[in-house]
Structures are given as structure tokens and as C-alpha cells.
Amino acid sequence: MFFDLNIKGSSLDNNLDLAIEASKYGWEHINFSYNQDTFKNALEFRQEMEDSLNDEISFDFTLEIKSTNINDIRKIARKFRNNASCISVVGGDLKVNRAVVENIQIDVLSRPYLKRFDSGLNHVLAKEALRNNVAVELCFNDILRSYLSHRSKVISNFKDIYTLYRKFDFPLVLSSRAESVFDIRTTHDFIAVFKQTGLTVPEIEKSFSTAHDILEFNKDRKNMIFKGVRRVVDEA
Amino acid sequence: MRLKVLPPTLRKNNRYLVIEIKITSPISKDDLVTIIWDACVRFQGEANTANFNLWVMKFFEFEKQDGYYSYKAIVRCQRGFVDDVRSALALANRYNGSRISITTIGLSGTIKAAQRYI
């Protein structure tokens, strides 16, 4: 079960190229991420993509909120909650990281270490992420596009997050954030890289199933009345 | 005088990786050797790369796709270091100012069996 929740979406042709390449390399599901300004336009060519891909690979769209204003993030998340299969927020700012892990409507805190000298997470945020079921996302592209000391620092930040993950067991998601066909690797290569950074194979597999669980949970989200109570349609 | 060939029990065990290369400018086999060694030394360091027993066995050119040149190659590495090599290769990003992508599409114990991935 190989799920990638964050492939950078752009034009229809580029998306199709990425999807075909991902399918060739063993991915089973990908999510194209768009920011709050382009997300609605992206939904318009969903049908055309489905027809072109012909069930070769399943795909969906992630809303990637990029803002440093906490109130804006809250408003955008509420506005798009019913349309998006996954809502992620780009982290890096400590206030944003904190607000996101405290918001149960958001699925993923993407790259909390972005443009920082530390991992952007501590024990307080880790506990909140676990309580509100907000996953923390680490991107393969951040290792790929950096080099030398900067790459070492990114991997060092990953290792700090792994330490917290092992202690607090918050949801962890690994994704590629590929922008072109040059950024996509086979699933085995993807696993090998994260193994080298210090994760174990069961932990990597769990991160894929976490991504799957997020999508499954969101399919049923409209039936959730509040936490722990779900409307059922004669399941017995 | 040539060295005597080692008995099978003393030989190193090899694995053969089939890699797919996409690059925006054309490359030769020698370029690929440089790319592979650079990638491994950069990501794994000199001391670790010494264990890998790297060798480019075969190199295949394919037709140019839209926007990039496509190649495949069979690369030898030592058994037990496959993940180290494939992660180092996967993290190759640029060569002489061109975008490059290397990914492992097959793994085998013999060259003959590796050729079915080509």
C-alpha cells in the first residue's frame, strides 16, 4: 500500500505525466496538492484526468494552506473541509505549527522544520498532534533538493522528529512533494532513503497506512457528529 | 604476473542493480561512472563507499523522451549494501548543471537475470 499525499499539482498535462510515472514506479495512490487560490480550479479538471488515466492509478487533491496568519488558516480549513480529501498546512513558523496541531479540522502539518534551525516540534506540540490526530509530514524532496551541510541539517531535523515520534506516537506521513518527473523515485528507493535517515521499515509502512487512514477517515467525515459519535446507516 | 583467482568461498557476493537514468543533457558511460561514484561518496562518505564494490557492468541508451534523455544500466554492488547504494543513487539531483534522476527499477543476483528489467 503505497500512498503519496503530497505531489505538487500544476497543469493537467504535467499532472498526467507525474501520475503515469508514479504508477510505473509502484505508487498506488497520489494526491496532488494545490494552495487555497488554485484548489477550486484544480477540481474542475478532475473528470478529465480520471478519463485520461483510465484507472491506472487512483488520485485525489490535497489542499495545501500556505499562510502565516492563524485566523486565515482556521477560516480556509473550515471553508474547504467538505471539498478536500486532505488538508495540510505548510509549517515552519512556530505559531503556525502550534495552531495546526491544535486544530482537529486539519489533517497534516507539512514540514514543521521548514526554514528553521530546529525541527519545529517539541514534546508539547507532539502531544497536541497525537490528541487532535494531526499528522506530521516529512518530504523526500527536501533531502533531494538540498546538498552538503544543508542536507545534513534537514536529516538532523528528521531525526529529532523521529525521536519525538517514537515517544509520543503521533501520526507521521512521508511524502515526495515531487514537482516533475525528475523528483519521483520507485517506492523501494523511497523506503531506502528514509531507512538511511533512521526510520525502520515497520515505521515507514505505518506512515503509508497513516496516509491511507487519513483519506478513509475524511470520506466518512460528514457523518461524524462530534468526536466519537458517527451517524450509521443501518450497518447491522 | 596475474593474481590467482580466489576460490568461490572467498569471493565477494554481488548484487546487480538495474537503474533508470533521466537527464536533460546526453551522457556517456564514463559520465555515469562519475555520477554514481560522486553520489555514493557524497551521501555515504568515503569510508562507507569503500564497502560497496561498485562497477558499471552495462549501459543502455534509449530514445529521447519529451524533455529528457533516457538510459538504463546494470550496476554491481556488494551484497548487504544494496539499500545504501540505492538511497545514494536516488539522491543524485544534478550533473554539470543538468537535472538528473536515477532510480532503481530492478535487483538481481546475476547479470543475466537483471537483463529482464531492461
pLDDT at residue A236 in the model: 62
Query: A44: distance to nearest CA of chain B, Å?
Result: 26
DSSP class of B3: P
Q: What is the pTM of this model?
A: 0.94
> What does the pLDDT look like over B29-48, one tens digit per residue?
999 999 999 999 999 999 99
- Please report where in the chains the cell 537483471 appears, as a residue: B114
ipTM score of the complex?
0.94
pLDDT at A223: 83
| Among chain B residues, CA nearest to A155 | B43
From chain B, pick out residues whose CB is under 8 angstroms from the CB of A193.
87, 90-91
pLDDT recorded at residue B97: 94
Domain B14-117: give its CATH code: 3.30.70.3250
Residue of A nearest to B67 (CA): A181
**DSSP secondary structure string, chain A?**
--EEEEEE---HHHHHHHHHHHHHTT--EEEEEE-TTTHHHHHHTHHHHHHHHTTSSEEEEEEEE--S-HHHHHHHHHHHTTT-SEEEEE--SHHHHHHHHT-TT--EEE-TTTT-SS-S--HHHHHHHHHTTPEEEEEHHHHHT--HHHHHHHHHHHHHHHHHHHHH---EEEE----SGGG---HHHHHHHHHHHT--HHHHHHHHHHHHHHHHHHHTGGGEEETTEE--SS--
pLDDT 10s digits, B71-111: 999 999 999 999 999 999 999 999 999 999 999 999 999 99
B64, B87, B108, B117: best to mutate for the A interface, most A CBs within 10 A: B87
- Look at residue B9 and tell me whether its pLDDT is greater than 80: yes
B-chain CB neighbours of A189 within 8 Å are 86-87, 89-90, 103-104
Least CB-CB distance to A192: which of B68, B86, B100?
A: B86
A144 contact residues in B (CB cutoff 8 A) = 90-91, 93
In chain B, where the domains are located: 14-117
Please list the ranges in chain A whose pLDDT falls under 70.
235-236
User: If residue B83 lies in a helix (H) or strand (E), which one and from where to where?
Assistant: helix B82-90
